Amino acid sequence: MRRPIALLLNMVLLASAASAQSPAPLTGDWLGNRAWLAEHGVTFNLDVANFYMGVASGGLERHFPYGGHGDYVTNVDFGKLCGREGLFLKIRAEHRFGENINRSTGAFLPAAVLADLPVADSEQLLLTNVLFTQALSERFAVFFGKLDTLDGDANAFAHGRGKTQFSNVGFVANPIALRTVPYSTLGCGFAVLGEGGEPVFSYMVLNPTDTADTDGFDELFAEGVAMAAELRLPTNFAGMPGHQLFAATWNSRDYVSLGQDPRVVFPNVPINEVTGSWSAYWNFDQYLVHSGCDPTVGWGVFGRAGVADDRANPLAWFLSFGVGGHNMMAGHEADTFGAGWFISGTSNEVGPLLQATLGPLGDGQGVELFYNWQATPWLNVTPDLQVIVPAREQVDTALALGVRAVVTL
């Protein structure tokens, strides 16, 4: 237990000593090569998220494991690289390491979803994105390749892939859609862009099963097809920016068991065979205070809601609300905070099948509070507190707490 604590403390001390002279990111400009590559259209976003989080009381197991996630993204702008205007490539390689608390809380929704991605029981480095995008105009683009879907269901205050804002999957994305949309798979689609290139409407056709640990070509559409559509409209209530998002998903494959999805924690038990499943969800974010210089710096409120086909989905409905954003005090504008509550309704169809393994089930809910401190441009340290009421009625309420430290390389 002492080793992870010492590691994180050493990071903070090193950051405090180096913050005055160390460039962002930690590895700097690579003797000028990083800036040269960026000028020619090749940029790198590399980081390692470290989690030292545990269950202090309740749950299934009280311990404080250490683990983490490496995320290595390369973006290529072929317009700058070779004159092919509007063509872009995104490559993401990621891996997890160590242990985490996601199964210790006894809840269906992971308290630190990023710590189990891309494959919960593997520490291999895997390609989860090899995605080409071609802009056909300033307002329309098409894309195809292998893509991960965690960046969907965007929200200004509750998103961030579990490493820049909340850690619990209930605030990273709407978990109601995870049953029908794989984490990483082959697919294609198009996006209608609004002001500033922000997607207003997107539509995707996907392979229906997860292929994070394979190239996916051998099983492409072998079990059917998945589709997802999102409409995200900008709003300006009382002169403050915000968004309203409406989305739906559908998957045609046969569901015969719960499977092993790293974004949720379910036992792999058989269910009554169901052909096809769907979900529909909504979210909003609304600034209440923002900087006059930058409308994306400020704080406000957010919420999510969703329903799903409960014949195949263990979650029948979902609801969350909260507050989040930037610390507006001078000198702390790079810090962010959040406080949220969620409740997830257990399916009346799948729930009885789970009860044979897990005991009586009700609805799960939880609260999360975090403060994301930018210790240096390359290190963010985030104390995190969660109170989780598992859907399993025989499991006591879990108090989960700890720290997340994200190093930008």
pLDDT of 332-385, one tens digit each? Answer: 889 999 999 999 999 999 988 899 889 999 999 999 999 999 999 999 999 999
Local confidence band at 244 (pLDDT 50, 70, 90 cut-offs): very high
> Residue 18: its pLDDT value, please?
37
CATH number at residue 175: 2.40.160.180
Q: What's the domain range around 254?
A: 2-408
Q: Check residues 2 and 326 and name the one with the higher pLDDT.
A: 326
**Nearest 5 degrees, angle CA 162-CA 176-CA 339?**
45
Peptide bond into 118 cis (omega under 30): yes
Burial class for 1, CB neighbours closer than 10 Å (0-12, 13-18, 19+): exposed
- Where does the pLDDT of residue 308 fall: very low under 50, low under 70, confident under 90, or very high at 90 and above? very high
Looking at the predicted structure, is the pLDDT value of residue 259 above 90? no
Of residues 26, 37, 116, the one with CA closest to residue 69 = 116
- Taking the C-alpha atoms of residue 81 and residue 38, their distance in angstroms, rounded to an integer, is 9
Mean pLDDT of 78-106: 96
Q: Could you tell me the sign of the dihedral formed by the alpha carbons of 215, 219, 221, 224, in that order?
A: negative
- In this predicted structure, the answer to whether residue 162 has a pLDDT above a threshold of 70 is yes
Q: How many domains does the chain have?
A: 1
104-154 per-position pLDDT tens digit = 999 999 999 999 999 998 999 999 999 999 999 999 999 999 999 999 999
pLDDT at 2 (0 to 100): 41
Asked if residue 311 has pLDDT above 70, the reply is yes
Residue/partner pairs of 218-227 with CB below 8 Å, 24 or more apart: 220/186, 223/253, 223/254, 224/251, 224/252, 224/253, 224/254, 224/276, 225/251, 225/252, 226/180, 226/181, 226/182, 226/185, 226/187, 226/250, 226/251, 226/252, 226/253, 227/203, 227/251
pTM recorded for the entire structure: 0.92
**pLDDT at residue 331, as a whole number:** 79
Q: In the chain, pLDDT over 70 holds for what percent of residues? A: 94
| DSSP bridge partners of 142 | 134, 190
Give the rounded percent of residues in the chain with a pLDDT score beyond 90: 84
Q: Could you read off the pLDDT of 51-70 as tens digits, one per residue?
A: 999 999 999 999 999 999 99
Average pLDDT, the chain: 92
Provide the pLDDT confidence category of residue 195 given band limits of 50, 70 and 90: confident
What does the pLDDT average to over 304-329? 95
DSSP helix/strand/coil, 110 = coil
Tracing tokens 């998957």 back to the chain, one arrives at 251
Residues listed for the chain: 409
Bridge partners, 129 (sequence order): 92
Question: In whole angstroms, how far apart are CA 364 and each of 6, 172, 231, 300, 303?
Answer: 34, 17, 28, 25, 17
The 8-class DSSP code of residue 151 comes to T
